[in-house]
Structure 1
């Protein structure tokens, strides 16, 4: 059994993880979305244009996630040259998923320290994004979204660890694309719907259930690595 394969369960799990991480997305990116919207000249703020720009931002962002998944999974093919190394990558991925769960439930914020790893890259990319503003055309929105996709984010890094463990560029890209699609609902809704969704995602009970589900999935991945389990499956 390959717990990081490209079958429906892993892709569905990646989608759900993105959905459950919506509270973090709203907190980190909601303000950016609002700022970009208000940066559009009032005379050009038609519902159709704003919807197109919103979709463009997210299309670019998910494209960057997908590319990152393929890149790190390619690195995984180099690292996982032996069965022991592959198992090590899968253990690392499971641990990162557990850290993601602890962060979502607000039980431990150590994952924020992981975000520091991407700040050096972001310092080089941020000026590129600023040159694309103000955004008034969809190609600009896609470009800015592609830059935005590299914003340091502990949840994204947790998913990239899972992509790394697949040691397969196609699988890594698919996992990150599924995760990115899962984050869409939290970033596409606006107004009253956004507040209602935000309140639901931020509710302690929702966070707890989400965290327990992710931990259970990560533990299942670890169990599948046990020799006796592999023998019977």
Structure 2
């Protein structure tokens, strides 16, 4: 695995972060400010009672939250990558790899359509993680209130919990992590994706609603969706025609493609 092969996953995270703004943007903005003691959940309560703090403290909160969130993505990638790698070793993986490669790129097509608001079928994937999320979500109340000396540590823990929020976009990239062949490469896939979402969510924590309104404009979503969809279409074209690697590695979102050496 090379940095070049991870670049498309970074781009999917960067372009797909227009979706993250809707799902996580308000949470990041609320967590980046100090709050009066709040015992209730959901986080909307915190957002209503938030008060401004110093810029440095706000930055530390946002960074800590995102480090925890991306760390959870990497852990999830390691789990699915290790599981699929072990299964591939036991049963042989040529057919599994080929089918998985097609599915991963079809998921990118679906994600692109979702970002364009053309088809929202990908959100059905979020029901997969609801059972786990119902167990994780109540843990957040033990980290409230957010203000105080240990606030960045609380933000890190909250980000780690929030990273398991059911998200169709995350699940679509997890499929690529499964194809990576090992726990280490699966973690790298999700780390690259998570780093792609980082610039937008860092900016959301600092700027807030103004950036959110701009990113959720239809032209921005359509452009982002078209590019992500193009990644998927190129991957499918490569699979169908057995194209070699080289420059396609920079636009095909997979770690090992059909016909490549694992």
Q: CA separation in 2, counterparts of 1:232 and 1:118?
A: 32
| Residue 88 of structure 1 pairs with residue 99 of structure 2 | yes
- In the TM superposition, 1:47-66 aligns within 5 A as 47-66=55-74
Moved more, 193-202 or 164-173: 193-202
Q: CA separation in 1, counterparts of 2:52 and 2:116?
A: 40
Alignment match of 1:110 (pick from 112, 121, 143): 121
CA shift, 1:182, in A, is 1.2
Name the SS for the 2:243 alignment partner. Answer: helix
- Stretches (4+) displaced over 6 A: none
| Residue 22 of structure 1 pairs with residue 17 of structure 2 | yes
Q: CA separation in 1, counterparts of 2:198 and 2:237?
A: 31
Query: Over residues 168-190 of structure 1, what are the superposed CA-to-partner deviations in whole Å (9 max), with x where a residue is unaligned?
Result: 22222112111111111221124
Q: 1:140 to 1:192 in 2, by over 3 A?
A: closer
Name the SS for the 1:151 alignment partner. Answer: coil
Contact 2:80 2:186 in 1 (8 A): yes
Q: CA separation in 2, counterparts of 1:134 and 1:119?
A: 25
Q: CA separation in 2, counterparts of 1:192 and 1:133?
A: 21
Counterpart of 2:224?
210
Counterpart of 1:36?
31
CA shift, 1:89, in A, is 1.3
**TM-score normalised according to structure 1 size:** 0.87
Q: 1:102 to 1:203 in 2, by over 3 A?
A: same
Q: CA separation in 1, counterparts of 2:111 and 2:59?
A: 30
Q: CA separation in 2, counterparts of 1:44 and 1:140?
A: 18
**TM-score normalised according to structure 2 size:** 0.78
CA shift, 1:48, in A, is 1.8
Q: 1:221 to 1:7 in 2, by over 3 A?
A: farther
Counterpart of 1:3?
none
Name the SS for the 1:229 alignment partner. Answer: coil
Q: CA separation in 1, counterparts of 2:30 and 2:116?
A: 28
Uncovered stretches (5+) of structure 1, i.e. residues with no partner: 1-5
Q: CA separation in 1, counterparts of 2:207 and 2:185?
A: 33
Moved more, 159-168 or 210-219: 210-219
Q: CA separation in 2, counterparts of 1:197 and 1:109?
A: 23
Higher helix share: 1
